Structure 1
Amino acid sequence: MSGGITPTSPGEILELIRSGQVTTRRELQDLTGLSRSTVALRLAPLIANGYVRARVRRSGSAGRPANALSFDETGKLILAADLGATHGRYALTDAAGTVLAESAGELSIGSPPQTVLRTVIRRFRDLIRRTDRPVGQLAGIGIGVPGPVDYARGRPVQPPIMPGWHDYPVAAELSAAFDCPAFVDNDANIMGLGEMRTHYREEASLLFVKVSTGIGAGVILSGRPQHGVAGAAGDIGHIRIAHPVEGRRCACGASGCLAAHASGAALARRLSDAGLPAVSSLDVVRLVHEGHPDAIEAVRTAGSLLGEVLSTAIALLNPSVLVLGGDLVLTHEHFLLSVRQAIYERTVPLATRDLAIAGSQLGIRAGVEGARHMVVDEVFSAEAVDARLETLETAGG
């Protein structure tokens, strides 16, 4: 048993299988030091309740075929939503990430939460109808919103661009609508989680920054988003910049916020005041692609301002990856190079020596992909699985 980890529950056995650390009963015995009979006892409820598949895996050599163990992902459905300031993206997937149905549409996050959540629920039900999958297969719901979130309670916390949402029971309302667990987090957190699990799984830390209508960041350490005491970790859009322009007020009511100078909404207002047709961050991107010098200059300045703020975060966290996402990244080198240059100019070489700076690879799907991972992490954690199995055992007498 020397060096073994000796799990004490079926849920911990499932974590070993889900992570790929073990793929057979023999590997499970060798890793944990448990006897064959004990391994069989721990696996029995996992197999019986659809958590684990056990299939005969034959090899080319003579001898007894091995029982291949794998997490049964296909029969467990997840509803995921990424809500932005002006749009929403919705997906129905299985636990493995296979997309069964997906949709997107305009959305005003400034509307009352009851109104927005009615839209979300309607969208989710439409996805289920399109796939003709039983609602009973739903494992959970994951949703991202553009504001601070009390993750443990599933409630937004004083989100500046979401009036009326403070302390609203978002997770509880979605859970009641579909009779399954629901989880809510900040949109930048779930985007960062999606990027890390898909493209940077081997990295120790990742900082994700979203620049669209507003600005927010997700800090992913050891594969998990960091929320802070009040859910405000990564809320960099409201950091005061060194030399603010007078009169540019933020949605939070303060002056000098980064978001009031470098967000897509701020740039659109500035270009519109200059006589250019810009209402949204995507309009800013369009103007840059059309070669308007004022738009290009505005985006480059925004990148420099963001880089100044991020240089402090880079020095403090020393992450291995910085991923930039959101609409302004679609301007490509105009924005990315400005951010990179500002970081390198203001940060000691040791902090950036091993830092990779890149645009989002998942793009518009980062949020729903991260929401899926959030649900899988919660619903299939050792604690959650053990609690579920205990409930089933009690119900079964």
Structure 2
Amino acid sequence: MSDAERLSAGASPGAGDIVQLLLDGHAHTKADLVHLTGLARSTVSSRVDALVESGLVSFAGEGASTGGRPPSRVAFNPRAGLILAADLGASHGTVAIADLSGHILAARRDEIDIAAGPLVVLDTILDEWRRLLADNNLSSIRVAGVGIGVPGPVEHSTGRPYNPPIMPGWDRFDVPEYVRRSFDVPVLVDNDVNILALGEQATTFPDATNLVFVKVATGIGAGIIVGGHLQRGAQGSAGDMGHVRVPHSAESSHAPGEERDLEALASGSAIAESLRAQGLPAENSSDVVDLVRAGNSTAIDATRQAGRDVGEVLATVVSLLNPSIIVLGGSIAGAGEHLLAGVREVVYRRSIPLATQHLSIVQTQAGERAGVLGAAIMVIREVLSPATIDAAIAAGERWSR
């Protein structure tokens, strides 16, 4: 039973629900919690005591006295556990350690080759996590969970990549089971664009409940947040923009009647291929960005057209989902305003005014750590859910060592 179903069925708030109240970052007295939960003082007291015993909650000074002994205050303890996070791309990966509030305590970015296969890549990031834990004197703190983002489709319920086009050897590989051999904790795996959406929302748009993050790089995908919740779809493939057919328009680079997927038209690889055909030295997304930044007019035109092609698909997304913010990220977004201009040109022209009157289309502001932050947030929401905490308290588990 989910937390929402549990409460709607009449269950009284448990220890896990009290933790949700303390996640605001402020210290509260037991009287505060009695007022917020409607529970009896004795019930709140016993649940707070159990949380303090577990290490998830700690004492945080005294509140204002209303006569007599000042009441003690309690607060959530973000250092009760650690989250190991990884954001893996085709050629680079970022590994990080976060506390239970999502604060990144340590991070490292290195070159990787996702095509080297799961054993090589996962062993590398496992070693990196161990090194970060040791180098930052964090080895004595309990690891509470692991979150990993990968550049391909993921069946989220199992954590297995599913026929990922740029990840040879990863198809249906049991990533969680392999990682749990080293860290026997919950392991969640998701598409890299989904965790980027979570990270962007947390760092830049915390009040946005309807947001679409679009990554334009070697591939193209979208992370969709609706009503404040990440949308994965039935099996986890929601947001696969790259395989949507792009309709022909007057500005299209492909011939009328020639149906092509968005990824075949607007990805970094596709733009580079187009530029090579015109005699320019472009092997990958990085080369495209370098040419654009150098002011090459052919590369600028190709990147702006890629933005228009992305806009053709996003215009439909805007009509269906009515987001308030579209964020463009990925390596090609680093080419400056040209991709963004192409997207805006088409979306604002093709979508109805009601859907676009307050729509912002912007470049990512979250930086290189957005992915690992999103991976950490994904795991934190799981391990700190009221039902999970209640089960841990009932089992007598301790978070702090």
Instruction: Using structure 1 for the length normalisation, give the TM-score.
Output: 0.90
Matched position secondary structure for 1:42: helix
Matched position secondary structure for 1:204: coil
Matched position secondary structure for 2:280: coil
- Give per-residue Cα distances to partners, 1:288-330, cap 9 Å, x unaligned: 0001111101100000000110010011000111111111111
Measure the CA separation in 2 of the matches of 1:393 and 1:132: 23
Picking from 266, 269, 292, the partner of 1:262 is: 266
Quick check: 1:197–1:223 contact (8 Å CA) kept in 2? no
Q: Following superposition of structure 1 onto structure 2, how do residues 370-381 of structure 1 map, counting pairs within 5 Å?
A: 370-381=374-385
> How many positions carry a matched residue from both structures?
384
Structure 1 position 296 matched with structure 2 position 308: no
Measure the CA separation in 2 of the matches of 1:235 and 1:352: 22
Residue number in structure 1 paired with 2:53: 48
Q: Which amino acid aligns with 1:319?
A: P
Deviation at 1:21, TM superposition (A): 8.8
Measure the CA separation in 1 of the matches of 2:73 and 2:202: 24
Deviation at 1:393, TM superposition (A): 6.4
Measure the CA separation in 2 of the matches of 1:23 and 1:278: 58
Quick check: 2:13–2:37 contact (8 Å CA) kept in 1? no
Task: Give 5+ residue unaligned stretches, structure 2.
Answer: 1-9
Q: Which amino acid aligns with 2:309?
A: L
Deviation at 1:23, TM superposition (A): 2.8
My pick for the range that moved more, 73-82 or 183-192, is 73-82
Instruction: Using structure 2 for the length normalisation, give the TM-score.
Output: 0.90
Picking from 150, 154, 158, the partner of 1:145 is: 150
Quick check: 1:149–1:186 contact (8 Å CA) kept in 2? yes
Q: Which amino acid aligns with 2:355?
A: A
Residue number in structure 1 paired with 2:159: 154
Structure 1 position 175 matched with structure 2 position 150: no
Residue number in structure 1 paired with 2:206: 201
Measure the CA separation in 2 of the matches of 1:80 and 1:296: 35
**Relative contact order higher in (CA < 8 Å, ≥ 6 apart):** 2
Cα RMSD for the two superposed structures = 2.3
Structure 1 position 120 matched with structure 2 position 125: yes
Measure the CA separation in 1 of the matches of 2:18 and 2:27: 9
Residue number in structure 1 paired with 2:88: 83
Structure 1 position 192 matched with structure 2 position 197: yes
Q: Aligned pair in 2 of structure 1 residues 70, 76: CA closer, same or farther (>3 Å)?
A: same
Measure the CA separation in 2 of the matches of 1:393 and 1:118: 29
Q: Which amino acid aligns with 2:78?
A: E
Quick check: 2:215–2:328 contact (8 Å CA) kept in 1? yes
Quick check: 1:110–1:162 contact (8 Å CA) kept in 2? yes
Q: Aligned pair in 2 of structure 1 residues 175, 136: CA closer, same or farther (>3 Å)?
A: farther
Picking from 313, 317, 326, the partner of 2:330 is: 326
Quick check: 1:379–1:385 contact (8 Å CA) kept in 2? yes
- Give per-residue Cα distances to partners, 1:78-123, cap 9 Å, x unaligned: 1111011111111122223333321111122223222221222122
Measure the CA separation in 1 of the matches of 2:57 and 2:178: 30
Picking from 378, 383, 390, the partner of 2:394 is: 390
Picking from 216, 219, 228, the partner of 2:224 is: 219
Q: Aligned pair in 2 of structure 1 residues 115, 255: CA closer, same or farther (>3 Å)?
A: farther
Residue number in structure 1 paired with 2:363: 359
Q: Which amino acid aligns with 2:285?
A: S
Deviation at 1:7, TM superposition (A): 3.6
Q: Which amino acid aligns with 2:381?
A: D
Quick check: 2:266–2:306 contact (8 Å CA) kept in 1? yes
Quick check: 1:16–1:22 contact (8 Å CA) kept in 2? no
